[in-house]
Amino acid sequence: MSISRFNRAIVREPGRSVVDGLRFEDRGAPSYESVREEHSAYTEALRSAGVDVTMLPPLEAFPDSMFVEDPALVFSEGAILLRPGAPTRIGEADELAPAIRNHFELVIELPLGFADGGDVLVTPDLVMIGLSERTDRAGAEQLAASLLQLGRESRIVVTPDDVLHLKSACSLLDDETMLCTPSLAETGIFDSFRCIITADGESGSANALRVNDVLFVDTTGVKTNDQLDRLGYQLVPLETSEISKIDAGLSCMSLRWFDLASG
């Protein structure tokens, strides 16, 4: 089964506090109403792709809590509750835990260090864990040990300084193909994949999201999307101009997995 095959997902509705979300690059505060619209379109796109979506209520105390991929990882085999590296997000895993335990019998908690789900790239053969401002060496090593409990091998890699998370600069398009920025491609970590490089000035387009037969892409990456279209990918363009102001991309707004029991 392809690792991009999903039938379940968890998302969280944005709260009004989302306008105070973290910013790796300050481009102004987003509009709450616009964030809600973009998040709603994203959720509907998941459903249209054949995914059963569980919507969690907003958490006003945590402005970035709609980005549910950072405090947890989910797989068919089980889940891992992480420790986000930003101080304002450290409590998000505890808030997310009840929903995770409702869906998974095996739930592992990261004991120490810091690790964001945005730094975790799942590939067919192994899980890549990127070191960044949000994921430290201790957290990456503990995450690697936790992944072994789920039967998954991993490798720790270095994320370029000019990106927030590993997946800010790359995404898996299919089991053999990676979309990534030029700087990340130059590191050599994707030498075993066919690499498609984002167009000049469109590095943000590297965070695409493959869901079953379709590929979610950011509408702003016009040249990159044209390239992907020519290669035969079935694109679902989504507006993320407001969400992108607060360190967000397409992958971070949902936790996705294939539930074998309901598959």
Of the candidates 53, 74, 63, the residue with the CA atom closest to the CA atom of residue 11: 53
Residue 50 identity (one-letter amino acid): G
The continuous run of DSSP H or E covering 155 comes out as strand 154-158
The angle formed by the CA atoms of residues 72, 61 and 217, to the nearest 5 degrees, is 50
Instruction: Tell me the C-alpha distance between 193 and 177, whole Å.
Output: 5
The one catalytic residue in 39, 165, 170, 180 is: 165
- Catalytic position from the list 39, 170, 180, 252: 252
Active site residue 39: no
What is the C-alpha separation between 190 and 149, in angstroms, rounded? 25
Active site residue 165: yes
Tell which phi-psi region holds residue 17, choosing left (phi > 0), alpha (psi between -120 and 50) or beta. alpha
User: What amino acid positions are annotated as catalytic residues?
Assistant: 165, 252
